[in-house]
Structure formats: C-alpha cells, structure tokens
Amino acid sequence: MDRHIGMLVNTQKKGALDMACRLIQWGKKKEIPILLPPHEASILGVPATTDDIWKTMVNFTVVIGGDGTFLRASRYVLNHSIPLYGINLGHLGFLASGKPEEAESDLEQILRGDYALQEHRILEGVIWREERRKHTLYALNDLVLTKGAFARVITIEIRIGNRYFNTLPADGVIVSTPTGSTAYALSAGGPIVPPHVPCMVLAPICAHTLYARPVIVGERDIINLIPRGSHRDLMLTQDGQLGYEILPGDRIELSLSHTKVVKVIVLPQRTYFDLLHEKLKWGQGIVRYEDKE
C-alpha cells in the first residue's frame, strides 16, 4: 500500500520552515512521499501537489506550527477524511501536541499504526438575516459574538432551541466545542471539557450582571444568539481567524455538526490528560506529603 504524508506549515515561522525541510529530507531517506499543497511548496521550493490531488492522495497530514496553524489545517481538510497530527512550534499547543525533537520518531510510530484516532466535533453556525441564510460557518474551536472597538455593552438574547433562555448585557459571548474549551472560553471562566465529551460551552465575555455563568449545552441542542438594540459594530469570529459583520436583528444559529468532524491522531504515550498536566503545570510546585510507616 502506498503511503503519502501530507504537510501543512506555518510559512511565517522560520522554525516551522526549518522543521518542514528536515522532515522532507527524512521522507526522501525513508522513500516516503511527503506532499505539499501549492502555497507551502512555493515557499519551500519543492514540487507542489494541486489542492484536489493532495486531498485525495494523503493518508494523514503533519501540521507544523502552533494551534492557529492546526485550526487553518482543520478548515482545509474539513470535507475530507484526513487525520491530522500537529507538531507544536507555538505556545501552549493543545491541538498541535507533538514535540519538534520527537518529530521523526512520532511519524515512524504513526506509520507503524501505533496510534489512535480521536474525532473532534465541529461547531456549525448559520447567520440568518431577515430569515434568509446569509453565511454557514464551521469552527473547530469556537464562534464568538463580540462588540467592536467602542466600549459599549451589547445586549444578546439567547435561546436554546425555541425557548427563551436569557438576555445578556455583555462584551460578547463565546460558544465553543469541547476542543475550544481550552482556548478563549477558558480565559472567560469556562470549564475544561475533554474532546470526547459531546457538548457545547456557552461562556459570557465580561457580563454586566452578577448572575451570568458559563453553561454546558447538550450535543443535540441548538443555541440561537440574537443581538438586540441598535448597536451596529458587531462581529462574529470563526476560530479567532475569520470575521463576519453582524447586524441588529440577525439570528446566529449554533449547533454541533452531525456530518463533519476533524480526525486527530493521538499517540498512546501522550494522552489529553497528560497534555493538561504538562501545559497547565498542574501539580508542579506543590509539596507532596507521604505517610510515614
């Protein structure tokens, strides 16, 4: 069976480009084709594979960069069943969890089949304007409704399905997947949710009320956000990378997609809870007392 590794790279980082060159040379020595789409190939000066062919040929893809690169990669492969493995050259790296010094050994382990696939649910958002579908968005981490540059509170009506839930005066609101629970939602006081737990997190941003708290919403629920008032400087951001203008009276319908997932390669020696322990420094600096016999 032919083995083809795809590669997606943060071309703005010299370290990522150096790592990509290193792995391309490793692939040549191992006689394992590493395929790059046109943008990455032009920067690295190697032969390119067209997007359509790339998406049909690769068995899995190594993503070199940080979590932002991983989020872009997830949108790139969203309609194709291509597992992703991230090598982290960013900061925390909850998505891109591989270590640069172990890159070659990790890829060899994956090629041996010594890994598991973890399906990460995708958030689907539909912007309705005058009851017409304006945009349909997909996000691995979150969709966030926020005010613009002016320091004005916005008022957001929240409905779960057709039932009224709350009217929230706030700087904005985050709706995240479990994957995104360690991103923006965490900084807004939301809970950490493992990727295999099917739910959504609804987290207010700087709510102007004492009673607003993050809420866990079920996997089959539908969240509707409706901005009220005349505030026109509103934005819906997709994974913190793409933005869409929101007008008063628009309705943003949010749910977990039932047709789209992102497949992430997980190595048995590097579990999600190991990652939390490492990245969040849990338990470090705490004195441990042992019972004396």
Average of per-residue pLDDT values in the chain: 92
Instruction: Delimit the CATH 2.60.200.30 region(s) of the chain.
Output: 123-259
Alpha-carbon span 118 to 84, nearest angstrom: 10
Domain 5-115+267-279 of CATH type 3.40.50.10330: yes
Alpha-carbon span 55 to 68, nearest angstrom: 20
User: Could you identify the residue written with the tokens 């969709």?
Assistant: 143
Q: Given the DSSP bridges, would you call strands 34-35 and 5-9 parallel, antiparallel or unpaired? A: parallel
**pTM of the entire predicted model:** 0.91
> pLDDT value at position 7?
98
Q: pLDDT class for 1, splitting at 50, 70, 90?
A: very low
Instruction: Delimit the CATH 3.40.50.10330 region(s) of the chain.
Output: 5-115+267-279
**What digits encode the pLDDT tens for the residues 153-168?**
899 999 999 899 999 9
> pLDDT value at position 178?
97
> pLDDT value at position 28?
95
Hey, what's the torsion of the CAs at 110, 89, 45, 48, to 10 degrees?
50
**Do the Cβ atoms of 223 and 159 come closer than 8 Å?**
yes
Superfamily of chain region 123-259: Probable inorganic polyphosphate/atp-NAD kinase; domain 2 (2.60.200.30)
Q: Is the pLDDT of residue 21 over 60?
A: yes
Q: pLDDT class for 210, splitting at 50, 70, 90?
A: confident
> pLDDT value at position 2?
63
Residue 67 bears catalytic tag? yes
Q: Which of 67, 142, 239, 250 is catalytic?
A: 67
